[in-house]
């Protein structure tokens, strides 16, 4: 049997080899799916929809392998023994999970059991998987986690990013965490004690160029910097801090893509300092991820437009002073997404769970906060527009922006997926840290629970998955700063958000009965993590309509 007891380059080479063999199985299945769903040289949406389970599982498998590849690349660069061990464990678990997924429905993927055995039972692969997935190996990693604490090895960040991380790490510890529980349990709006200092730290200008008063260089984006800040704030609290950057980033991207020069000069400097705060109103009661189906009507009137209809899940819609609203300016249903336009709707800021706006220009806008099991602090609102007047100057892009709303929305959401991956990593880190400390403190049958093998196994697997999620998020952020990585961003969002649910579940389980008590933060992490797979593209829509579609179109 091949000796895989050594760490370092040889171990990573084995992991890379078995991972590549697994990826080959995915590629073969994608090629088969392409043959079934392409007609006359074009992918048929209707045919692809008849293979939804296959599509979903191929997307998830691809995303999991993608995370493993980014983790492998990071491990090779770090040359750190503990990082290598986490990497090898994650790769072994990823290969096992993907092969089990494929083996469960061989006929659907048009594979044979021999194909799976060829990957798993080769001499080197078999020895690698056996050694990495053994209880002894995983428990030994878990014991190291208990001894090391939450340190996952070198992060290889540049000095400026390290300084940025350390600054927001301290802010999360000293300001956000002491307030997070009361915000969650009492369903409060984010307090000024959090908002004020973040405005001074420039957090709302991270996605806005320096020429418009932001912190981003004019000639390039800094997605990685945004991710690092998002991760640290989400570690403090997803609802009370971690999602604050999302809305100004979406609006800033849309304005930079299609706003008039006057609109950019007017709005971007204000957004950069968080005055006003903003929200995004795109989702409707019957149209979530299907943005092209938006029905809120915008009817031309003297000097502007009248908005009529409803929006839902408008996060921070009460506190916000400006809403980015997608509306239908062309009533012809045949116009589809080409009949949509984007508006900047100004309103007074409100801290309440309900608000009503009746401007002198006529009409009414009302809002009601939706009760949610988690993700509290920003409040998500249902909005109702009744002949609400918006001046023509507030159509994004001016007169030339009519009919371009869908494209501006897509430009705005471009960074939302990878940012959501960053939020997931932050929530996982918080849960992981609490789990380690509790495993040392909680004594059962005269031993700290961290001394028991099953707890050690849980901590080791949490560490490996967290490390992989962090590296795919950082790696994709770097790609996006180079103008690439859109597909990988979707994969990162899909995999990290699903993983966050599992990691926070394990953290709660380690805490036992106390984990179910609201007074313990892990209960908040658990309910907060659940929303991550829903917003910024529900995981099913992301897998079926974005990832699989692109993978099939590019399959050999």
Percentage of residues in the chain having pLDDT higher than 90: 90
User: Which of these, 443, 474, 461, lies nearest to 505 by C-alpha position?
Assistant: 461
Band of the pLDDT at 389, cuts 50, 70, 90?
A: very high
Band of the pLDDT at 290, cuts 50, 70, 90?
A: low
Whole-number pLDDT of residue 311 = 96
4 pLDDT higher than 70:
no
Whole-number pLDDT of residue 261 = 97
Band of the pLDDT at 289, cuts 50, 70, 90?
A: low
Task: Domain 278-406: give its CATH architecture.
Answer: Beta Barrel (2.40)
Q: How far apart are CA 257 and CA 407, in angstroms?
A: 9
Residues forming CATH 2.40.110.10 domain(s) in the chain: 278-406
CATH, domain 416-539, list 1.20.1530.20, 2.40.30.60, 1.20.140.10, 1.25.40.10: 1.20.140.10
- Does 536 qualify as catalytic in the annotation? yes
Percentage of residues in the chain having pLDDT higher than 70: 98
My answer on whether omega of the bond before 411 falls inside 30° of 0, hence cis, is no
Query: 468 burial class (0-12, 13-18, 19+ CB within 10 angstroms)?
Result: buried
Whole-number pLDDT of residue 413 = 82
> Tens digits of per-residue pLDDT, 210-230?
999 999 998 888 999 999 999
Higher pLDDT, 505 or 410: 505
Q: How far apart are CA 203 and CA 180, in angstroms?
A: 19
Active-site position among 93, 501, 536, 539: 536
3 pLDDT higher than 60:
no
> Tens digits of per-residue pLDDT, 424-475?
999 999 999 999 999 999 999 999 999 999 999 999 999 999 999 999 999 9
> Tens digits of per-residue pLDDT, 341-356?
999 999 999 999 999 9
Give the least confident one: 71-75, 147-151, 334-338, 377-381: 334-338
Query: What DSSP state is assigned to residue 200?
Result: H
Residues forming CATH 1.10.540.10 domain(s) in the chain: 159-272
Residues forming CATH 1.20.140.10 domain(s) in the chain: 9-148, 416-539
Token code pair at residue 511: 């805490």
For domain 159-272, the question of CATH label 1.20.1250.20 is answered with no
Residues 473 and 421 sit within 8 Å (Cβ to Cβ): yes
DSSP secondary structure string for all residues of 280-294 = EE--BTTBSS-GGG-
Q: What is the pTM of this model?
A: 0.95
Whole-number pLDDT of residue 9 = 83
Residues 448 and 137 sit within 8 Å (Cβ to Cβ): no
Q: What is the CATH number of domain 9-148?
A: 1.20.140.10
> Tens digits of per-residue pLDDT, 174-214?
999 999 999 999 999 999 999 999 999 999 999 999 999 99
Q: How far apart are CA 353 and CA 528, in angstroms?
A: 19
In the numeric block, the tokens 């005269």 are attached to 446
Whole-number pLDDT of residue 391 = 97
Q: How far apart are CA 156 and CA 222, in angstroms?
A: 17
288 pLDDT higher than 70:
no
Whole-number pLDDT of residue 2 = 40
The average pLDDT across 324-341 equals: 92
Q: How far apart are CA 514 and CA 537, in angstroms?
A: 33
8 pLDDT higher than 80:
no
Q: Report the chain's mean pLDDT, rounded to a whole number.
A: 94
């Amino acid at each position: 049997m091949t000796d895989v007891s050594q760490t370092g380059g040889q171990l990573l080479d084995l992991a890379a080899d078995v991972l590549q063999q697994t990826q080959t199985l995915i590629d073969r299945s994608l090629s088969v799916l392409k043959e079934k769903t392409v007609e006359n040289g074009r992918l048929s949406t209707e045919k692809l929809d008849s293979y939804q389970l296959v599509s979903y599982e191929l997307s998830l498998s691809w995303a999991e392998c993608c995370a493993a590849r980014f983790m492998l690349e990071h491990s090779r660069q770090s040359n750190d023994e503990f990082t290598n061990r986490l990497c090898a464990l994650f790769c072994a678990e990823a290969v096992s999970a993907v092969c089990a997924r494929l083996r469960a429905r061989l006929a659907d993927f048009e594979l044979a059991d021999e194909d799976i055995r060829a990957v798993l039972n080769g001499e080197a692969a078999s020895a690698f998987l056996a050694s990495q997935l053994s209880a002894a190996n995983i428990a030994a990693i878990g014991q190291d986690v208990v001894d090391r604490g939450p340190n996952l090895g070198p992060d290889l960040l540049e000095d400026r990013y390290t300084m940025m991380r350390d600054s927001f790490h301290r802010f999360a510890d000293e300001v956000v965490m002491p307030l997070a529980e009361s915000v969650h349990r009492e369903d409060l709006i984010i307090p000024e004690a959090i908002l004020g200092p973040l405005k001074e730290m420039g957090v709302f200008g991270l996605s806005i160029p320096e020429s418009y008063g932001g912190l981003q260089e004019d000639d390039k984006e800094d997605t990685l910097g945004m991710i690092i800040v998002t991760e640290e704030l989400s570690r403090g609290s997803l609802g009370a801090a971690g999602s604050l950057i999302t809305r100004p980033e979406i609006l800033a991207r849309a304005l930079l893509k299609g706003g008039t020069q006057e609109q950019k000069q007017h709005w971007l400097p204000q957004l950069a300092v968080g005055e006003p705060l903003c929200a995004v109103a795109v989702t409707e009661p019957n149209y979530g991820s299907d943005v092209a189906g938006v029905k809120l009507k915008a009817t031309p009137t003297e000097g502007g437009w009248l908005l009529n209809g409803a929006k839902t899940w408008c996060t921070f819609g009460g506190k916000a002073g400006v809403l980015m609203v997608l509306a239908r300016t062309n009533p012809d249903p045949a116009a589809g997404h080409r009949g949509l336009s984007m508006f900047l709707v100004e309103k007074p800021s409100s801290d309440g769970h309900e608000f009503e706006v009746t401007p002198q220009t006529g009409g009414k806008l009302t809002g009601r906060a939706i009760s949610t099991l988690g993700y509290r602090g920003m409040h998500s609102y249902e909005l109702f527009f009744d002949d609400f007047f918006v001046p023509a100057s507030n159509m994004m892009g001016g007169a030339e922006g009519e009919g371009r709303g869908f494209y501006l929305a897509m430009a705005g959401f471009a960074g939302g997926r990878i940012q959501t991956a960053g939020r997931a990593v932050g929530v996982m880190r918080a849960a992981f840290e609490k789990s380690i400390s509790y495993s040392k403190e909680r004594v059962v049958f005269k031993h700290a629970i961290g001394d028991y093998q099953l707890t050690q196994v849980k901590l080791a697997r949490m560490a490996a998955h967290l490390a992989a999620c962090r590296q795919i998020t950082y790696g994709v952020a770097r790609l996006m700063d180079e103008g690439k990585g859109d597909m990988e961003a979707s994969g990162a969002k899909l995999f990290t958000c699903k993983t966050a649910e599992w990691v926070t579940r394990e953290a709660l389980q380690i805490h036992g009965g106390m984990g179910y008590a609201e007074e313990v933060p892990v209960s908040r992490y658990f309910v907060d993590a659940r929303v991550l797979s829903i917003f910024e593209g529900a995981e099913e829509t992301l897998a079926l309509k974005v990832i699989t579609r692109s993978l099939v179109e590019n399959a050999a």
